[in-house]
C-alpha cells in the first residue's frame, strides 16, 4: 500500500498538471503582451510555472478554494518586473504583432482593421505599467475586476477605477494619433 | 468612437496568444525532471547524512536534552511527593518512600 505522503504528492502533481493545462494560454498571453516577443514570453511562462510548482501546496492551502489564476499572473508579473530590472530595459520593440494578429483574426479583419489594431497595440505600450497590465488582464485574459485586484494586490474599487482610467487614456492616445 | 466600440476593438487587438504547440510538453518534461531530481537528492542526502559525523550533532543533542529533561522531571515529581509525606510520617519512612518513587518514576518514563 502506498505511503500517505506519496499519495499526497501524486495528487498534488496531478492537480498542478490540471492547473497549468488550464492556464498555460493565460500565462503565455500575459507574458507575451508584457515582454513583447515570443522568445521572452516562453521563458517567462516556463519560469512562472516552475515557481508556481514550488509553492503550489501552500497556495492551494491558502486560497480556500478561490481560483489560482490571479496567483499565477501575479507570479508572472513579479518575474517580468525582475526581468526588466535585471536587463534594465523595457521591451526593445513594439509588440511583435504579426504572430498573434495574423493567427487570430480573419483575412477581412486584417485588411480592414489591421492598422487600427496595430495603433491600439502601440498605444497600449505607451500606458503606465499598472494601466497596461490591468488592460492586458481584462481584455487578453478576460479576468474580472476581483481577479485583477487579487493579481495586482489592490482593492476591487481601486481596480475598477484603474481599468476605467486606463481605457480612457488609451482611447485618447489612439484618437490623437 | 464610442466607449463600447473602443472596448470591442481593444478586445480584438489584445486577442489571447496561443503558446507554441510543444511548450506544454517541454514544461511537463522539465517539471518531471525537477521532481525526480529532488527525490533523488533527498534520498542520497538521507543516506550520506548519517555517515557524516557533522550531522550527528543534532540527534546526539536531542538525546542529551531529552534525557536531562526526563531526569529533571523524575526528581521534581519524587521531591514533591516526598515533601507531601514528610509532613505525615517519620524522616526514615519518607526517605525510603522517596527512593522508591524515584525508581518507579524512572521506570515509568523509560517505558
Give tens-digit pLDDT for A99-133.
444 344 444 544 557 788 888 999 999 999 999 99
pLDDT band at B31; cut points 50, 70, 90: confident
The pLDDT score that the predictor gives to residue A103 is 43
Mean pLDDT of B84-103: 63
The pLDDT score that the predictor gives to residue A173 is 94
Cα distance from A85 to chain B (closest Cα, Å)?
A: 25
Distance CA B68, CA A19 (A): 50
Inform me whether the C-beta atom of residue A29 falls under 8 Å from chain B C-beta atoms: yes
Task: Report whether pLDDT(A47) > 60.
Answer: yes
Contact (CB<8Å) A105/B3 = no
Task: Report whether pLDDT(A25) > 80.
Answer: yes
Mean pLDDT of A67-86: 90
Chain A residue at shortest CA distance from B11: A139
Listed in sequence order, the residues at least 6 apart from B90 whose beta carbon sits closer than 8 Å to its beta carbon are none
Mean pLDDT of A33-61: 92
Please name the member of A101, A103, A135 whose beta carbon is closest to the beta carbon of B18.
A103
The pLDDT score that the predictor gives to residue A99 is 44
Tell me the C-alpha to C-alpha distance, in Å, between residue B21 and each of A106, A141, B24, B83.
Answer: 21, 19, 7, 81
pLDDT band at A177; cut points 50, 70, 90: confident
Nearest one of A93, A161, A175 to A130, comparing CA atoms: A161
ipTM of the complex: 0.76
Give tens-digit pLDDT for A51-64.
999 999 999 999 88
Inform me whether the C-beta atom of residue A171 falls under 8 Å from chain B C-beta atoms: yes
Site from B1, B4, B14 to mutate, A interface, most A CB atoms within 10 angstroms: B14
Task: Report whether pLDDT(A152) > 80.
Answer: yes
Q: What is the DSSP string of B45-106?
A: HHHHHTTSGGGGHHHHHHHHHHHHHHHHHHHHHHHHHHHHHHTTS-HHHHHHHHHHHHHHHH
Q: How many contiguous H segments (helices) and E segments (strands) does chain A have?
A: 9, 0
The pLDDT score that the predictor gives to residue B88 is 56
Inform me whether the C-beta atom of residue B17 falls under 8 Å from chain A C-beta atoms: yes
Contact (CB<8Å) B16/A104 = yes
The pLDDT score that the predictor gives to residue A117 is 87
Mean pLDDT of A156-167: 96
Q: Which residue has the higher pLDDT, A97 or A17?
A: A17
Contact (CB<8Å) B16/A42 = no
Mean pLDDT for all residues in chain B: 70
Inform me whether the C-beta atom of residue A120 falls under 8 Å from chain B C-beta atoms: yes
Task: Report whether pLDDT(A42) > 90.
Answer: yes
The pLDDT score that the predictor gives to residue A2 is 56
Contact (CB<8Å) B10/A167 = yes
Q: How crowded is the C-beta side of A26, counted as CA atoms within 13 Å?
A: 25
Mean pLDDT of A25-29: 96
Inform me whether the C-beta atom of residue A11 falls under 8 Å from chain B C-beta atoms: no
The pLDDT score that the predictor gives to residue B105 is 65
Please name the member of A50, A116, A136 whose beta carbon is closest to the beta carbon of B9.
A116
Task: Report whether pLDDT(B87) > 60.
Answer: no
Mean pLDDT of A66-82: 93
Cell numbers that stand for B93 in this block: 519512612
pLDDT band at B2; cut points 50, 70, 90: confident
Site from A21, A29, A106 to mutate, B interface, most B CB atoms within 10 angstroms: A29
Contact (CB<8Å) A24/B23 = yes
Amino acid at each position: 500500500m502506498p505511503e500517505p505522503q506519496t499519495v499526497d504528492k501524486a495528487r498534488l502533481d496531478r492537480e498542478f498538471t490540471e492547473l497549468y493545462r488550464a492556464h498555460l494560454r493565460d500565462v503565455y498571453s500575459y507574458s507575451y503582451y508584457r515582454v513583447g516577443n515570443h522568445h521572452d514570453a516562453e521563458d517567462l511562462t516556463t519560469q512562472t510555472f516552475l515557481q508556481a510548482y514550488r509553492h503550489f501546496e501552500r497556495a492551494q492551502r491558502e486560497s480556500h478554494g478561490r481560483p489560482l489564476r490571479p496567483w499565477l499572473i501575479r507570479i508572472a508579473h513579479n518575474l517580468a518586473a525582475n526581468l526588466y530590472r535585471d536587463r534594465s530595459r523595457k521591451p526593445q520593440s513594439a509588440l511583435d504583432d504579426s504572430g498573434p494578429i495574423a493567427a487570430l483574426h480573419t483575412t477581412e479583419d486584417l485588411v480592414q482593421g489591421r492598422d487600427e489594431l496595430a495603433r491600439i497595440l502601440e498605444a497600449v505600450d505607451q500606458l503606465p505599467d499598472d494601466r497596461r497590465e490591468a488592460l492586458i488582464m481584462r481584455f487578453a485574459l478576460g479576468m474580472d475586476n476581483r481577479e485583477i485586484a487579487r493579481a495586482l494586490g489592490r482593492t476591487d474599487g481601486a481596480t475598477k477605477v484603474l481599468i476605467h482610467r486606463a481605457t480612457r487614456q488609451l482611447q485618447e492616445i489612439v484618437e490623437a494619433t | 468612437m464610442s466607449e463600447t466600440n473602443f472596448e470591442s476593438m481593444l478586445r480584438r487587438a489584445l486577442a489571447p496568444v496561443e503558446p507554441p504547440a510543444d511548450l506544454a510538453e517541454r514544461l511537463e518534461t522539465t517539471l518531471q525532471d525537477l521532481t525526480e531530481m529532488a527525490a533523488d537528492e533527498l534520498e542520497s542526502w538521507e543516506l550520506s547524512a548519517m555517515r557524516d559525523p557533522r550531522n550527528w550533532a543534532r540527534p546526539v543533542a536531542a538525546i542529551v536534552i531529552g534525557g536531562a529533561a526526563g531526569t529533571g522531571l523524575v526528581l521534581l515529581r519524587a521531591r514533591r511527593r516526598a515533601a507531601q509525606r514528610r509532613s505525615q510520617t517519620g524522616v526514615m519512612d519518607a526517605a525510603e518512600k522517596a527512593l522508591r518513587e524515584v525508581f518507579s518514576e524512572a521506570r515509568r518514563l523509560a517505558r
